[in-house]
Amino acid sequence: MSASPFRVERWTTASRASVVAVALLIAALALGPGYFSDNAIDKLTTLFVYVILATMWNALAGYAGLVSIGQQAFFGLGAYFAVRLADGGMPVYGALASAAALTGLVSWPLSYFMLRLRDGEFAIGMWVVAELFHLLVNLDPLIQGETGTSLVALNRYGAFARHAYTYWMALAGMSFLLLLLFALLRSRTGAGIQAIRDNEEAAASVGVEVARTKRLIFVLAALGAGLAGSLWLANAITFQPKTYFSPQWTAYMIFMALVGGLGTFEGALIGAVIFFAIEALFGAAGVWYLIGLGATALGFALFLPRGLWGWVEARYGLSLLPVGYRLRFKTHSSSPAQTPRLAAQPRRK
């Protein structure tokens, strides 16, 4: 039998260079408070939060196939737990990190109920959970219903220190979650996550532990959303339940993942940057801004369903942060667009 004319590869020169470039960019951003203004620091902190939200929702829906329209449940819980822990005497930045961990802990038992639901039932069920958490938080006397409260513990820090510490925590949290998700998706568990998305029964038949794998990604997405909520609170200081438990947060997550490229690692990052830029330019337009976001998302769903990076991958075969494997022709070069066609052909004996 002749040798196969194809080879399986994961890393390319472009992907290695991209990983190095990302590492250098993060190292450079760590020096930001020494060079940027307070306004620039706040905006970058916002961008880091958007990246967390986009990548976590993309991991849940794009890779695991668990489409949730209620991730604001965990965003709001992260902010609420931060307020509660800080009010109880915990150092404020320790409270922010602990709030994310506590949100992930709450999501663990919740997953035993929610992951029994499928497709639309799961999506709507998560929205119901978010509303339930919203109502429960309103019952806390500290929160004073929809009046809300503030993270007063941050007043112990000067303006520069508060901006810098929040920035560094957001950068560290974003970097950690990106690295964790990248490693997870490149592992055997990551292959199982994507197999479940494609066909849950088939994944189970080849040995994937479906329930455990789905629970893992569900808890990770909840923890990430909780961290994003606590960081947003540190930047905004005030906490009002109706703001943090608003469905708009999940709408933003969906927009970023859809525009960037659902189910691609690079797509979520690109979507977050695009959304951040659109908000900076048109956020003051009020309701027209929201209408524009909706129309843009609809346009992508209809005419570019794989998002910007999904289109780039399909057109040019480019993968900068690879989490899967690629099939390449060994003997002579072929265009990226030809690779899927060649890979689909049966091997000649």
d(CA 25, CA 19): 10
DSSP state of 152: G
Residues in the chain: 349
| Residue 43 lies in domain | 32-288
Mean pLDDT over residues 42-49, rounded?
Answer: 95
pLDDT reported for residue 274:
93
Residue 15 lies in a domain: no
Residue 270: per-residue pLDDT: 94
Where residue 344 falls among pLDDT bands split at 50, 70, 90? very low
Q: Are 201 and 65 in contact (CB under 8 A)?
A: no
Instruction: Look at residue 345 and tell me if it is in a domain.
Output: no
Q: Is residue 203 part of a domain?
A: yes
- The residue-averaged pLDDT of 108-122 equals 93
What is the Cα–Cα distance from 79 to 151, expressed in whole angstroms?
9
pTM: 0.89
d(CA 149, CA 145): 9
- Give the pLDDT band (50/70/90) at residue 103: very high
The H or E element spanning position 150 is strand 149-150
The CA-atom distances, in angstroms, between 86 and each of 89, 164, 285 are 5, 19, 35
Strands 326-329 and 6-9, bridge-based pairing: antiparallel
CATH number at residue 182: 1.10.3470
Cα gap 225→53, rounded to integer Å? 6
Sequence-distant (≥ 6) Cβ neighbours of residue 241 within 8 angstroms: 76, 80, 134, 137, 138, 143, 145, 146, 148
Q: Across-strand partners of 326?
A: 9
Alpha carbons 104 and 226: distance in angstroms, whole number: 7
Q: How many domains is the chain built from? A: 1
pLDDT band with cut points at 50, 70 and 90 for residue 97: very high
Is 269 contained in some domain?
yes
Q: DSSP H helical segments within the chain, as ranges?
A: 13-29, 38-57, 72-87, 92-114, 119-138, 159-185, 188-198, 200-205, 210-236, 241-244, 248-260, 265-282, 287-303, 307-316, 339-344
Residue 321 falls within a domain, yes or no? no
Residue 335 predicted with pLDDT over 50:
no
Residue 67 lies in a domain: yes
Q: What are the CA-CA distances from residue 266 to residues 22, 119, 247, 276 (Å)? A: 11, 25, 25, 16
Residue 246 lies in a domain: yes
Tell which residue, 18, 9, 57, has the closest CA to residue 312. 18
DSSP-assigned beta bridge partners for residue 7: 328
Q: What is the pLDDT of residues 283-295, one digit of tens each?
A: 777 778 888 888 8
- In this structure, is residue 20 part of a structural domain? no
Average pLDDT of the chain is: 87
